[in-house]
């Protein structure tokens, strides 16, 4: 704990943490020491982690990097976080992220962006940007983030670490601040595949507080990491031919494909006819769900309330106007629009039908292939400031990560190389629902 506290102090400029629980973490460490001495320590004894500011931790602030939750303290602990604590994990702090996990650069945080340690003028990705930087810069051993459309995988790719999102419903969402509930999943940011597997093993499983959490038995993922199987792997042809793809990432991908073939895996190009519809359907559905989920921040129940309010309606309006940032307001308005009576069928219903097609086609490909591989991102970490300059380009850059989210399948980003500037490149791997064990084992093959 002291080691990480020193690093956090030394690298404050990276803005990875919104709050550090120094005293408390040191006390936790003492307790864990005693348990180790007594032989009663849990499986994560001594593991120091940070949690993204969207996870509830009893009696601790929870803000989703938003002013609207200023002063709010959580009344309970998220199921996933509790399960880690039950195994004696030590939580060192609350990590910076995009406001309500909406973004891909950590720049929508009300508390300023986290910075990529490799190049401080570049973004760490997002929305779990602070969580990625914390692992990259050795400010904790592992981070727990959330992934709605790429928020652990994309920052992991930008920061040269491993980002893993499980099958939808594998981990309880109880205590995870809702962005788009039919997409949201808790995920991990780690240096090793072993750590990702172990953390999943402990967090996964049924939960009486989340009826959508799967009852399927949890596999001992961390004990099934070795494989000498020869796999069938598909890659979507157009992903490597798309215009926006950085040529160096393309080269790296081709190198990975050659390497896998040389190791006697079968690698084939496949067609996926819905590539152009992935990003639009994702943003219609997630903004719709967000506009509904975020209606609870009304100045009455949580956090901030505008002091300028004169009556009930002005309290709602002023609280939300002052409390939410620009990106969040934009998405609430877009979501409200696509759910409005006149446009519901044209946008929301249609996007749901497109989601179904994307899910079915993805599942069909995954019946023929054990894995689909693609770049995690079309570019390496981009410079700060892009969010204001080119908001649409930032949405379009989610092209590779949102497919797994629309389909609900598990996906992981593993580091596979660097561009000429020394910026990391991530390879993304998708597999069938609940096949996380083979996803981890294959990740060790490509990593
Ligand atoms: N960049 C995507 C978005 O802004 C993903 C965010 C996430 O996964 N939370 O919606």
User: Residue 382 has what DSSP assignment?
Assistant: P
Say whether 151 is catalytic: yes
- Of 151, 172, 413, 443, the catalytic one is 151
Q: H or E stretch including 252?
A: helix 247-262
Say whether 444 is catalytic: no
Q: What is the pLDDT along the chain (447 residues), one digit of tens a residue?
A: 999 999 999 999 999 999 999 999 999 999 999 999 999 999 999 999 999 999 999 999 999 999 999 999 999 999 999 999 999 999 999 999 999 999 999 999 999 999 999 999 999 999 999 999 999 999 999 999 999 999 999 999 999 999 999 999 999 999 999 999 999 999 999 999 999 999 999 999 999 999 999 999 999 999 999 999 999 999 999 999 988 899 999 999 999 999 999 999 999 999 999 999 999 999 999 999 999 999 999 999 999 999 999 999 999 999 999 999 999 999 999 999 999 999 999 999 999 999 999 999 999 999 999 999 999 999 999 999 976 667 788 998 999 999 999 999 999 999 999 999 999 999 999 999 999 999 999 999 998
- Of 11, 52, 128, 291, the catalytic one is 52
Distance of CA 64 to the CA centre of its chain: 13
- Of 127, 143, 146, 413, the catalytic one is 127
Q: Is residue 414 one of the residues assigned to a domain?
A: no
| Gap between the Cα atoms of 39 and 168, Å rounded | 36
Q: Is residue 282 one of the residues assigned to a domain?
A: no
Residue 197's domain is classified under what CATH number?
Answer: 3.90.1300.10
Give the Cβ contact number of residue 341 at 10 Å.
6
- Interface confidence (ipTM) of the complex: 0.97
Report the separation in Å between the CA atom of 184 and the middle of ligand 1, taken as the mean of its atom positions: 10
37: nearest Cα among 25, 49, 29: 29
Q: Is residue 174 one of the residues assigned to a domain?
A: yes
What pLDDT, on a 0 to 100 scale, did the predictor assign at position 386? Answer: 74
Longest dimension (CA), the chain: 71
What pLDDT, on a 0 to 100 scale, did the predictor assign at position 143? Answer: 99
Direct distance between the N- and C-terminal alpha carbons of the chain, in angstroms, rounded to an integer: 28
Atom of ligand 1 nearest to the CA of 405: 8
18: nearest Cα among 128, 150, 179: 128
What pLDDT, on a 0 to 100 scale, did the predictor assign at position 392? Answer: 84
Atom of ligand 1 nearest to the CA of 152: 8
Q: H or E stretch including 49?
A: strand 48-52
Q: How many CA atoms lie within 13 A of 68 on its CB side?
A: 26
Report the separation in Å between the CA atom of 104 and the middle of ligand 1, taken as the mean of its atom positions: 6
User: Residue 371 has what DSSP assignment?
Assistant: E
Atom of ligand 1 nearest to the CA of 395: 1
Range of the domain at 187: 2-223
Ligand 1 probe mutation, 66, 100, 109, 127, most atoms within 8 A of CB? 127
Q: Is residue 296 one of the residues assigned to a domain?
A: no
The model carries a pTM of 0.97
Report the separation in Å between the CA atom of 331 and the middle of ligand 1, taken as the mean of its atom positions: 11
What pLDDT, on a 0 to 100 scale, did the predictor assign at position 125? Answer: 98
282: nearest Cα among 413, 152, 395: 395
| Gap between the Cα atoms of 383 and 119, Å rounded | 9
Write the DSSP assignment of 149-210 as a string of letters. Answer: SSTTHHHHHHHTSEEEE--TTSB--TTBPPSSTTT-EEEEEESSHHHHHHHHHHHBS-BTTB
Q: Is residue 375 one of the residues assigned to a domain?
A: no
Bridge partners of 186, per DSSP, are 146
Q: Is the dihedral of CA 59, 62, 67, 68 positive or negative?
A: negative
Task: Please name the residue whose Cα sits nearest to atom 4 of ligand 1.
Answer: 103
Total tally of structural domains belonging to the chain: 1
Ligand 1 neighbours, Cβ below 6 Å, are 101-104, 127, 147-151, 179, 286, 398
Report the separation in Å between the CA atom of 325 and the middle of ligand 1, taken as the mean of its atom positions: 15
Say whether 127 is catalytic: yes
What pLDDT, on a 0 to 100 scale, did the predictor assign at position 55? Answer: 98
Place of tokens 């040269």: 160
C-alpha distances in Å from residue 344, one per residue of 179, 280, 283, 352? 20, 15, 14, 11
Three-state secondary-structure class, residue 45: coil
Ligand 1 probe mutation, 151, 182, 282, 335, most atoms within 8 A of CB? 151
Q: What's the length of the chain?
A: 447
């Amino acid at each position: 704990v002291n080691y990480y506290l020193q690093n956090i102090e030394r690298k404050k400029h990276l803005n990875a943490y919104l709050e550090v629980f120094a005293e408390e973490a040191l006390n936790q460490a003492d307790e864990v020491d005693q348990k180790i001495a007594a032989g009663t320590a849990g499986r994560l004894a001594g593991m120091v982690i940070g949690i993204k500011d969207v996870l509830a931790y009893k009696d601790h602030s929870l803000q989703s990097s938003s002013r609207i939750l200023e002063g709010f303290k959580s009344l309970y602990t998220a199921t996933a976080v509790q399960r880690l604590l039950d195994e004696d994990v030590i939580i060192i702090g609350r990590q910076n992220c995009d406001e309500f996990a909406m973004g891909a650069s950590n720049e929508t945080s009300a508390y300023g962006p986290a910075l990529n340690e490799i190049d401080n003028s570049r973004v760490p990705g997002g929305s779990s940007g602070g969580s990625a930087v914390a692992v990259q810069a050795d400010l904790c051993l592992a981070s727990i983030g959330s992934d709605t459309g790429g928020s652990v995988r994309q920052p992991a790719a930008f920061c040269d670490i491993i980002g893993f999102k499980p099958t939808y419903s594998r981990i309880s969402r109880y205590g995870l601040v809702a962005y788009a509930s039919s997409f949201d999943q808790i995920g991990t940011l780690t240096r090793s595949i072993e750590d990702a597997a172990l953390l999943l093993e402990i967090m996964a499983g049924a939960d009486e507080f989340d009826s959508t959490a799967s009852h399927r038995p949890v596999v001992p993922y961390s004990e099934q990491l070795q494989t000498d199987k020869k796999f069938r792997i598909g890659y979507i042809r157009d992903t490597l031919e798309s215009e926006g793809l950085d040529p160096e990432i393309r080269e790296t991908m081709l190198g990975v494909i050659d390497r896998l073939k040389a190791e006697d895996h079968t690698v084939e190009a496949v067609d996926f006819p819905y590539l152009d519809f992935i990003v639009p359907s994702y943003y219609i559905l997630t903004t719709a769900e967000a506009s509904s989920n975020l209606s609870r921040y009304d100045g009455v129940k949580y956090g901030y309330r505008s002091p300028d309010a004169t009556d009930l309606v002005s309290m709602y309006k002023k609280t939300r106007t002052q409390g939410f940032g620009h990106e969040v307001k934009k998405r609430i308005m877009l979501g409200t629009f696509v759910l409005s009576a006149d446009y519901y069928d044209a946008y929301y219903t249609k996007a749901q039908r497109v989601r179904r097609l994307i899910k079915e086609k993805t599942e069909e490909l995954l019946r023929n292939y054990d894995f689909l591989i693609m770049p995690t991102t079309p570019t390496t970490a981009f410079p700060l400031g892009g969010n204001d300059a080119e908001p649409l380009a930032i949405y379009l850059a989610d092209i590779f990560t949102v497919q797994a989210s629309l389909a609900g399948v598990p996906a992981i980003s593993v580091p596979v190389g660097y561009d000429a500037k020394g910026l990391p490149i991530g390879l993304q791997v998708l597999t069938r629902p609940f096949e996380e064990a083979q996803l981890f084992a294959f990740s060790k093959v490509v990593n």
